[in-house]
């Protein structure tokens, strides 16, 4: 609330453009802003959000439904986290990043991906016993039941790009906190309720880190139709994984099929023994019938919707997360089909 009130007082600009005493959280600044109407307004909005979310979370849990939440490995630069804990990041004396996050060039992106997030000083985190990360995990687990750790590979090693460069072509691989970090989480939290988002450039050290803590990885069925040996196809799954028809970053099944290469379309329909018109239902059935311990289908695919219902376009700055459903769309037919699948493949909640 203090961060948002100060941001409002400074015309909405990024915190590195605030006056020095605001940037450095001088005690008189914090005391003054906490007496402001803006602080009270933001604090009350946050209170309402957490009150409503807690009620929704409890409602789901009471009906045998668990909630999965996301923790991205990195935080935004213009955030309360970076402003309030600058010593945990690679910042200069003025609070400017010296290196930022990204991924190196590959077949799909010749200049790499420049994300621009500030990078952690893992040595400082380690000295504190990862206190900030433990606070982050505990706060999230008060709101959800399972955590998907986004960009899990960054805990094994991450790409560091000098700040100010226009692309991610120039950078270096740096070691992540690895097993020492996850051991600290396990010591503090017990069994780790974590899903490892292990998509993208996955090297043996990432697999070793994931498997050393028995964390489930991810499989995306849409990615699997290039070859019979593809790990994203159901006959290649392992039990300890979480399978999606597609995630929030993917198009819907119908949307994916419209733009997929012809060879993948042909193999997909043959593999699933279905037609294009029935593809969403066939993909849902395929992952439900697999050996994977956990399966996830976006509501858009359960409803058989097209690309107009896509949730997110990675890299697109606006127009995302706008899709909404209606109560009328979720009728008896969907309920009955899900009940049938869950009964048939022994996926009913255990009570």
Tell me the catalytic residues. 150, 197, 249
Q: Tell me how long the chain is.
A: 351
- Print the SS3 string covering the chain: CHHHHHHHHCCCCCHHHCCHHHHCCCHHHHHHHCCCHHHHHHHHHHHHHHHHHHHHHHHHHHCCCCCEEEEECCCCCCCHHHHHCHHHECECCCCCECEEEEECCCCCCCCCEEEEEECECHHHHHHCCCHHHHHHHHHHHCCCCEEEEECHHHHCEEEEEECCCCCCCCCEEEECCHHHHHHHHHHHHCCCCEEECCCCCCCHHHHHHHHHCCCCEEEEHHHHCCCCCCCCCHHHCCCCEEEECCCCCCCCHHHHHHHCCHHHHHHHHHHHCCCHHHHHHHHHHHHHCCCCCEEECCHHHHCCCCHHHCCCCCCCCCCCCCCCCCHHHCCHHHHHHHHHHHHHCCCCCCC
How many C-beta neighbours within 10 Å does residue 44 have?
Answer: 11
Rounded Cα distance between 163 and 172, Å, is 12
Tokens 């029935």, residue located: 278
Structure tokens at 91: 């910042």
Q: How far apart are CA 163 and CA 97, in angstroms?
A: 6
Between the alpha carbon of residue 41 and those of residues 38, 48, 83, 333, the distances in Å are: 5, 11, 20, 43
CA–CA separation, 132 vs 136, rounded Å?
6
């Amino acid at each position: 609330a203090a961060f948002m009130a100060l941001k409002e007082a400074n015309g909405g600009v990024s915190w590195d453009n605030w006056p020095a005493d605001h940037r450095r959280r001088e005690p008189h600044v914090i005391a003054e802003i906490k007496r402001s109407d803006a602080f009270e307004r933001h604090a009350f909005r946050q209170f309402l959000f957490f009150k409503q979310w807690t009620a929704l979370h409890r409602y789901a849990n009471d009906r045998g439904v668990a909630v999965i939440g996301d923790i991205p490995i990195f935080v935004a630069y213009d955030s309360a986290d970076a402003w309030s804990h600058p010593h945990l990041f690679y910042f200069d004396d003025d609070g400017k990043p010296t290196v930022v996050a990204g991924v190196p060039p590959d077949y799909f992106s010749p200049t790499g991906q420049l994300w621009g997030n500030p990078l952690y000083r893992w040595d400082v985190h380690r000295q504190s016993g990862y206190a900030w990360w433990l606070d982050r995990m505990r706060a999230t687990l008060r709101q959800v039941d399972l955590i998907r750790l986004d960009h899990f590979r960054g805990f094994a090693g991450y790409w560091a790009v000098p700040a100010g460069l226009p692309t991610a072509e120039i950078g270096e691989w740096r070691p992540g906190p690895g097993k020492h970090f996850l051991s600290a989480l396990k010591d503090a939290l017990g069994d780790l309720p974590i899903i490892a988002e292990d998509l993208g450039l996955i090297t043996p050290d990432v697999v070793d880190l994931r498997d050393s803590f028995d964390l489930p990885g991810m499989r995306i069925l849409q990615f699997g139709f290039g070859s019979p040996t593809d790990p994203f196809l159901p006959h290649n799954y392992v039990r300890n994984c979480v399978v999606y028809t597609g995630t929030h970053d993917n198009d819907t099944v119908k949307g994916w099929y419209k733009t997929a290469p012809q060879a993948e379309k042909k193999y997909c329909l043959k593999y699933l023994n279905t037609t294009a018109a029935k593809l969403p239902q066939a993909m849902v059935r395929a992952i439900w019938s697999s050996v994977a311990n956990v399966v996830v289908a976006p509501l858009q695919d359960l409803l058989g919707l097209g690309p107009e219902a896509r949730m997110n376009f990675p890299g697109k700055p606006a127009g995302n997360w706008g899709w909404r459903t209606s109560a009328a769309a979720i009728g008896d037919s969907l309920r009955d089909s899900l009940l049938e699948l869950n009964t048939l493949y022994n996926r009913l909640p255990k009570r």
